[in-house]
Homo-oligomer: A and B are copies of this chain.
Amino acid sequence: MTANRARRRFLRGSLAAGSILLGRTAGAATPDTPAAASAATPAPAAPYRNTPGQPFTPYGQPVRHERAVVRRIAANRDVAGNGVGLTPLEDLEGSITPSGLHFERHHNGVPQIDPARHQVVLHGLVRQPLAFGMAQLLRYPMQSKTLVIECSGNSNVAWHREPMQRPVGSMHGLVSCSQWSGVPLALLLDEAGVDRKASWVVIEGADGFDFSISIPLSKIREDCFLALYQNGERLRAEQGYPVRLMVPGWRGHLHVKWVHRIEVTSAPRLSRNETAAYSALMPDGRARIFDFVLDVKSLITTPTHDQTLPAPGPTMISGLAWSGHGAIRAVDVSVDGGNAWQPATLQQPVLAQAFARFSLAWNWRGKPAILQSRATDDSGRVQPSRAALLAARGHNNFYHFNGIVSWKVDEDGSVSHAYA
């Protein structure tokens, strides 16, 4: 559906978004009459109308009225520094996640690294091992890409047998999208000279957890880069300052933070985080490992649990879709639990491996409804229903949930998470 068609549909239920009529009613108003003008005068002056405002600030911060918009922290009580901070997706618009709200996932907290003393060592099956200081890396050619990062454990509560009642971000907020800038790894590999026997690269972070992961050399050469900037400025500590690996379209745990070692090898390391963890346990007891690419997925971000529709009438349904396989081609929305589907509007431009914002104007008639979104990417992959995903993967899973998520609207306008 085009944006114009969506707009016309929205206006058919006009005034219903809650604007307040001023002055005389439509028929009687003549635009230039003092009555209309007077009715349209703002209320008595607020204090800031008569006094100078606050001064300039070197680095801006959110206003206090929005201080509830924060990451929801779910930290492991038994292991210091192990846990997550989820992005409050329900509070955001557009397709960029600001750096302060980008999700966090750490295994041993956030190391505080002095960039003047930090190096990235590139060694293994190379002609010439090299070490790169941060000042040196900053002088290399850079590239920038707007990329989604989704933790492999995102949406893990959706595997539960009963739907948890939380806003979308508190269950599915281990996914964010920012513009990342850094140095193509192919450039550094060419400088070191890669041996013909090489086929894998092992990347290690400098945190106390020694987080390490194996990635095929072909992917590293294709489009991986060492990010030094997020959304224009240098990385935040919790996003890997001073340097993080970006693996476009692939799962979040591969995006190693605080990179300090890159080893070119002829085999994967089979580290804990690519075998015991971040693998998918199948119904037959075997695990899927090296399942790298982000599945096609979408989430309605509004309405969501903890929101109440104020009244029947035009209601915006909005959300986010993404796929590691390419760009989102379409998002369909259902308001009846998946029987009928309507195409949503996609905010342009739609970028590969990034958030696509979708929206649909829905005329809620005050009856119970089940809202769903279903994404299709330009490789033709379609987001599966939860039932289909469970049939294929079983109930033992923790990772890689990309099934359709459902929100139930009751007659009183309250919204709850549902399995449908």
Contact A19 B191, beta carbon cutoff 8 Å? yes
Q: A298 an interface residue at 8 Å Cβ cutoff?
A: no
Contact A55 B31, beta carbon cutoff 8 Å? no
Q: A161 an interface residue at 8 Å Cβ cutoff?
A: no
Q: Which residue of B lies closest to A22 (CB)?
A: B129
Contact A62 B59, beta carbon cutoff 8 Å? yes
Q: Which residue of B lies closest to A113 (CB)?
A: B48
Q: A111 an interface residue at 8 Å Cβ cutoff?
A: yes
Q: Which residue of B lies closest to A75 (CB)?
A: B56
The complex places the Cα of A95 from the Cα of B55 at a distance, in Å, of: 27
Q: Which residue of B lies closest to A71 (CB)?
A: B58
The complex places the Cα of A14 from the Cα of B136 at a distance, in Å, of: 13
Residues of B within 8 Å of A109, CB to CB, are 52-55
The complex places the Cα of A48 from the Cα of B106 at a distance, in Å, of: 14
Contact A229 B93, beta carbon cutoff 8 Å? yes
Interface size for A (C-beta < 8 A) is 141
Contact B37 A56, beta carbon cutoff 8 Å? no
A residues sitting closer than 8 Å to B (CB atoms) are 3, 6-7, 10-11, 14-15, 17-23, 25-26, 29, 31-32, 36-37, 39-43, 46, 48-63, 65-66, 69-71, 73, 75, 80-81, 83-85, 91-102, 104, 106, 108-115, 117, 119, 121-133, 135-136, 139-144, 179-181, 184, 186-188, 190-191, 193, 195, 197, 206-208, 228-229, 231-239, 241-242, 260-261, 264, 310, 315-316, 318, 347, 349, 351, 357, 359, 361
21 examples of A-B residue contacts, CB within 8 angstroms: A7-B141, A15-B191, A18-B132, A22-B128, A31-B125, A36-B129, A39-B123, A43-B117, A46-B117, A54-B112, A60-B99, A60-B102, A61-B236, A62-B236, A63-B237, A93-B229, A96-B96, A96-B179, A100-B233, A139-B315, A142-B359
